[in-house]
Chain A
């Protein structure tokens, strides 16, 4: 696993410059928290790392081939159960027991086989987190992953994330400094 080196990254959408010669080093195996005002380019940065947006210029080194992510939206297949939604992204040989264990750890033990469209917002969020945790990828990108969770659930979910993401490089985008502290992440303040 290598450090991820981002150098002079630029991205513009029409007239709006979102990233202007943005440079940063994300240490391998660390939890790296990014905070900043809305619209400062946090999500765009994650989308570039995921290969969903192309940077106008700049360089990224050390990016692993497989990256896992919790998107800002849940992005679940509504008709399918929590287990199926996690299995879709997990490596082929992942045993069902491992998926069940992860979902149960996130407090979804009673909702394993229910279609996710029947779940509450907070439960759907946790399914999305489980999917990212069990998917392959040395790099885990979390875009406001704990939004919509109540305080108690948030704490227990953060503990699970911290335990299960150990050994991976994690980039956490958040507006809540408490999450940075709870996950033991280093903090980078992104400016417009």
Chain B
């Protein structure tokens, strides 16, 4: 390495070596599952509530107006500010889930709402004329048109849910979390460990993104290619 100083930047070899050590020394799977479970709870809560609120806001414009300042605030306020506030409200264990939820909610809400607003008016008229029941409208008109936006929002927000969830853990320091391990890496100036855990986060995030996309495609009928 040009820098030749592990504290500032770890070489790939050092990272792999440290990753192997971590895999032997620490209960990596349980640490990973601890953080994963919280991130996923936050992600799916944000996904479901974001979709529901978007559907309500698309039908009732006053709900959209009412929600607008809240969504803007959630989107604009730095994660750290929410974390500090949330430490007072929740246990550190629940912190990362809540922060992930806050990050996912506005992304999904805005994506789905925009797609609902852009729904084909001609198809809506057709459904009105033929008195198509709500569930059929949902299946045949709304889901096919919202699906691409929802998949894109889910993919984007999954990565952000991991980032923000782990950042919240770093501040809240719940025992047995990835955030706690990053804190240890910082405390002991263990840069290879920092990179190794980052690698685990990136791989976990990528795997989650693919799995969630597959799950949503299955649920929303994305097999109809």
Q: In chain A, residues 71-94, which have Cβ atoms closer than 8 Å to a Cβ of chain B? A: 71, 73, 75, 77-80, 84, 88-89
Residues of chain A touching chain B, judged by Cβ–Cβ distance below 8 Å, are 50-52, 66-69, 71, 73, 75, 77-80, 84, 88-89, 115, 131, 135-136
B129 CB within 8 Å of chain A: yes
- Check A115/B224 contact, CB under 8 A, given A77-B144, A88-B136: yes
Give the size category of B's interface with A: 10 to 19
- Which residue of chain B has its CB nearest to the CB of A131? B130
Inter-chain contacts of B129 with A (CB < 8 A): 50-52, 67-69
- Check A75/B140 contact, CB under 8 A, given A88-B130, A88-B132, A115-B224: no
Q: A77-B123, A88-B127 are in contact. List 9 more A-B contacts (CB 8 A).
A: A51-B129, A52-B129, A66-B131, A75-B122, A75-B123, A77-B140, A80-B140, A84-B140, A88-B136
Bound complex: CA of A146 vs CA of B128, how far in Å?
A: 23
Report the minimum CB–CB distance from A131 to chain B (whole Å). Answer: 7
B49 CB within 8 Å of chain A: no
* Cβ A71 vs Cβ B130 within 8 A: no
- Check A78/B128 contact, CB under 8 A, given A71-B122, A88-B136: no
User: Number of residue pairs across A and B with beta carbons under 8 Å?
Assistant: 44
Q: In chain B, residues 115-150, which have Cβ atoms closer than 8 Å to a Cβ of chain A? A: 122-123, 125-132, 136, 140-141, 144
- Which residue of chain B has its CB nearest to the CB of A52? B125
Q: In chain B, residues 170-214, which have Cβ atoms closer than 8 Å to a Cβ of chain A? A: none
Bound complex: CA of A88 vs CA of B126, how far in Å?
A: 10
* Cβ A77 vs Cβ B141 within 8 A: yes
Inter-chain contacts of B128 with A (CB < 8 A): 51-52
Among A66, A79, A115, A136, find the residue whose CB has the most chain B CB atoms closer than 10 A.
Answer: A79
Report the minimum CB–CB distance from B204 to chain A (whole Å). Answer: 33
- Which residue of chain B has its CB nearest to the CB of A89? B130
Bound complex: CA of A79 vs CA of B127, how far in Å?
A: 16
* Cβ B144 vs Cβ A79 within 8 A: yes
Q: In chain B, residues 4-57, which have Cβ atoms closer than 8 Å to a Cβ of chain A? A: none
* Cβ A68 vs Cβ B224 within 8 A: no
Bound complex: CA of A3 vs CA of B158, how far in Å?
A: 60
Inter-chain contacts of B136 with A (CB < 8 A): 88
Bound complex: CA of A67 vs CA of B128, how far in Å?
A: 10
Among B125, B126, B144, B221, find the residue whose CB has the most chain A CB atoms closer than 10 A.
Answer: B126
